[in-house]
Chain A
């Protein structure tokens, strides 16, 4: 294992210390239990957004704490869900009296821990609405699985719902909006290489030099199929086609196209992916009205990409364009 770390057991703590040192204007970090809150939390009268998940996906979620996005993020151990005590304390720290939305990616551990936290928070008189994001079309048969995973749409939901919360929309409105984003977003990812969890020290899975995994999850969970490396055009087609046909996205639709890097893929390759996606959608008469290109929901050092499409309407576009000021996303301020 070759990593820029000190000790595997200190990775999460030291990265959080780095965030605290880098962004005191945007956020504060609490240790034991670990959570990140925006610098001005709690914002009175505003619905608060709390998300969380395993570490190793940075900038998600901690990098999205700040004005116009998340009020708090709960980082777990690497690729491991955070625990209910983190979520409860974070929820209390950001509750401004208007209720709290938990944005939860559909992973068994995340869902169970957030469920326990919501039960405890409600017991303490805090209104909590949980919204589960499950946008990964790579998981086909949801009757016999834990259901579709929550991936790229999570970032878009956090941005859009954060903007709605800044407008002082109600708890029910923000939660409904979050469900709407989830209902209109679809994603699929692929890996060129595996990744190494620092505490494990060895690759999470083995992938041959000439192999790729299509439909990968964000923790290196295998996807639909393993196949030989192919040109970017073919890879993009095998990601975008199932996405487009799933919702489906149709001629005349306007979408937000999010091309995400998995952590080890350079921007130059993401633009090649975007170029292929742009051509493919243009052929189908689908207009990319907004885009996001970069590594926002990562899998440690995994090389690969994920594509997310979100069908836009005026409301979603307006909220996407609204100002945001976080370490990971920043515009309009």
Chain B
């Protein structure tokens, strides 16, 4: 069972809608421990991605994801631009030339996403960042596949792990990004980057729920 190119486009479009819907929520989370722009920036970036997709042709998932990454790099700004830009660029590299995604391709894309975000942001699990959602999600996806789960089930377990990872950031003291300036006062707030990362993977699980 696989995810065809058109459904990868559907995931990107779905993520754009999710960012529009969660614009205020993410900005509100960011205003508690950051600089109150994460939802605004992600929404602006994904709207730019939608505009870019209109003229996009072909069936290369890797090319699509790289274009998404480049568009985010040039339209988001802040830390989110380089981090989400690098995430999609690395996912694109991992899936270059694929017209559909096998579960193993998605696992490779998640590896690329994690490696890219860590290379750019130098964060570890527990630093209260996107990584707190991404690494558990990647690991859960791989272990689900090892357990013989279907692609759709593995995506659900991956999204569930991302959600737990996102919630795990609430008590953490931030060690990266602007939230780190708060020190102990950053504890008790959910990390906006981990939240948008969870939403990204939740959107994948929902869009691809038919993948067997």
Contacts and interface: CB of A to CB of B under 8 A. Distances in A.
Contacts of A107: 178
Interface stretch (B52-60, B76-84, B105-113, B161-169): B76-84
Given A145-B175, A146-B180, A219-B35, A80 B78 contact: yes
Contact of A76 (B34, B77, B181): B77
B40 A199 contact: yes
A108 B176 contact: yes
- Interface of A, secondary structure class, is loop
A205 B35 CA distance: 9
Interface in A104-126: 107-109, 112-113, 115-116
Contact of B74 (A33, A109, A141, A221): A33
A83 interface: yes
Contacts, number: 110
B75 interface: yes
A108 B180 CA distance: 10
A107 B80 CA distance: 12
Contacts of B82: 84, 109, 112-113, 115-116
A146 B77 contact: no
A219 B77 contact: no
A221 B178 contact: yes
Contacts of B75: 83
A99 interface: no
Nearest to A199: B40
A193 interface: no
A83 B34 CA distance: 19
Interface string A126-155: 000000000000110100111001000000
B121 A80 contact: no
B37 A199 contact: yes
A326 to B, nearest CB: 24
Contacts of A82: 77
Given A85-B74, A144-B175, A200 B181 contact: no
Interface in B32-48: 34-37, 40-41, 44
B27 A200 contact: yes
B34 A221 contact: yes
Contacts of B83: 112
A77 B36 CA distance: 12
24 contacts: A81-B77, A83-B73, A83-B76, A83-B77, A108-B176, A108-B178, A109-B77, A109-B81, A112-B82, A113-B77, A113-B81, A146-B176, A146-B177, A149-B181, A197-B40, A200-B31, A200-B37, A204-B35, A205-B31, A219-B35, A220-B35, A221-B182, A222-B182, A223-B181
Interface of A: 33, 54, 76-85, 107-109, 112-113, 115-116, 138-139, 141, 144-146, 149, 197, 199-200, 202, 204-205, 217, 219-223
Q: What 7 pairs across the A-B complex have the smallest Cβ distances? A: A145-B180, A112-B82, A109-B78, A109-B79, A80-B77, A85-B74, A219-B35
